[in-house]
Amino acid sequence: MTELTREYAELLDKQDQLSHFRDEFYLQSNTIYLDGNSLGLLSKRAEASLLSIVDSWKTLGIDGWMQGEHPWYYFAEKLGKLSAPLVGAKPREIIVTGSTTTNLHQLVATFYKPQGKRSKILADELNFPSDIYALQSQLTIKGYDPKTHLVQVKSRDGRTIYEEDIIDAMTEEIVLIILPTVLYRSGQLLDIERLTKEAHKRGIVIGFDGCHSVGAIPHYFSEWDVDFAYWCNYKYVNSGPGGVGGLYVNERHHGKTPGLAGWFGSNKEKQFDMKHEFTPAADSGAYQIGTPHILSMAPLYGSLQLFKEAGINELRKKSLRSTTYLMELIDQELSQFGFHMANPKEDSRRGGHVSLEHEEAARICKALKKNGVIPDFRSPNVIRLAPMAFYTSYVEIWESVQILKKVMVEKQYEEFKNEREVIA
């Protein structure tokens, strides 16, 4: 086994073909940022595209909708086209709009079509709470009791979900399936292609929450025939806090009337006819509802330029190397401190972060922050560490583990309460 020294980390950095992208981001001195899976850092390109849109507002006023470098009227479609390579979709299948939860509401309102005994929605018990709230809400609106009509696949270990258990739950009562691409706590990557095939064999529509994978992991939604997907852009895609989300709808579903109609889902040639007859766009643009949040969308344009240059496949390769290196360091340096690595070890099953469980997790995170390492805590006992392919160096990964070891050896965490902050 390679000796995991600082010198070895420096060698990895010299060999890293993506290392120059680090200069594109605003990095704080004396800080190692390992929380990009919650909020990605600001890039200079994102800042520039935001300022460009602000300038178009300043100089063009209302004419910014149809003039300037990025006419606002078509901006969501332009960003959708740039986003398509990240998820393996055709440009007309992607639109940048809404947020994760509003897009999920839109998609469930469109695709949840209960008929007779086939009336239940299948999800999992480890999914992010907002998705579950939305599903419960949609069932209630349709007159169903979420306690009986939201089926949640159980986890065997409290960390991961077995695909076999999901498939076994695809009964004749299920009409719609909503699953995460990557589980937010453990970082488990589900087999999206396999699950889609199994759902379609049974005549079930299936959609995926890509919040913890888009921008870190290449997907092939069109090739896999996924029905729909939705995601945020403020994590791995670095579009800024509250940045506008994205959604994908397979082109074979185009032409449907969206469940939640709004005027920006209109055919753009007819939108300003102002008639009380909704004429939806012929592509995924139909799933827009209200006027686009142009200033919140603006940084995404600059960020997507970086993805175009780096390539999602190269970013995934570095992400896997980085998380593998981090796991090796944890095994070497921290084995005596009671940590449990909850994420899958296999590359094919692991997302973009390492998940450490510890009974003192909340206050360990606080101690790390005091030492300049920014991790992420998830209740009840998870420390998430996410080296970002764009801007985290291997030396920073090595230093982070040394700092964590020092925190444990000196028991620095004992000066903090073992409870989360308002934002974990």
Question: Residues within the annotated binding site for pyridoxal 5'-phosphate?
Answer: 100-101, 128-131, 209, 212, 234, 263, 291
Query: For residues 330 and 354, is the Cβ–Cβ distance under 8 A?
Result: yes
Round to whole Å and give the CA distance between 298 and 56. 11
User: Quick one: how far is CA 351 from the chain centroid?
Assistant: 10
- The H or E element spanning position 175 is strand 174-180
Query: Taking the CB of residue 164, how many other CB atoms lie within 10 A of it?
Result: 9
- Per DSSP, the residues of 204-262 read -EEEEE-TTTTTTS---HHHHT--EEEE-SSSTT---TT---EEEE-GGGTTPPPSS--
Structure tokens at 401: 């583990």
Structure tokens at 162: 């077995």
Query: Taking the CB of residue 424, how many other CB atoms lie within 10 A of it?
Result: 14
For the annotated binding site, the residues are 100-101, 128-131, 209, 212, 234, 263, 291
DSSP class of residue 23?
Answer: G
Cα dihedral 40, 413, 323, 94 in deg (nearest 10): -30
- Per DSSP, the residues of 351-400 read -S-EEEE-TTHHHHHHHHHHTTEE-EEETTTEEEEB--TTT--HHHHHHH
Spatial CA neighbour of 167 closest among 193, 130, 185, 134: 193
* Full strand arrangement of the beta sheet holding 174-180: 94-96, 246-249, 228-231, 205-209, 174-180, 120-124, 150-153
Query: For residues 191 and 169, is the Cβ–Cβ distance under 8 A?
Result: no
**Counting beta carbons within 10 angstroms of the beta carbon of residue 295, is it exposed (0 to 12), middle (13 to 18) or buried (19 or more)?**
middle
- The H or E element spanning position 32 is strand 32-33
**Strand 373-374 versus strand 32-33 pairing type:** parallel
- Integer-rounded Cα radius of gyration of the chain: 22
Strand partners, 355: 384
Query: For residues 246 and 274, is the Cβ–Cβ distance under 8 A?
Result: no
DSSP class of residue 138?
Answer: H
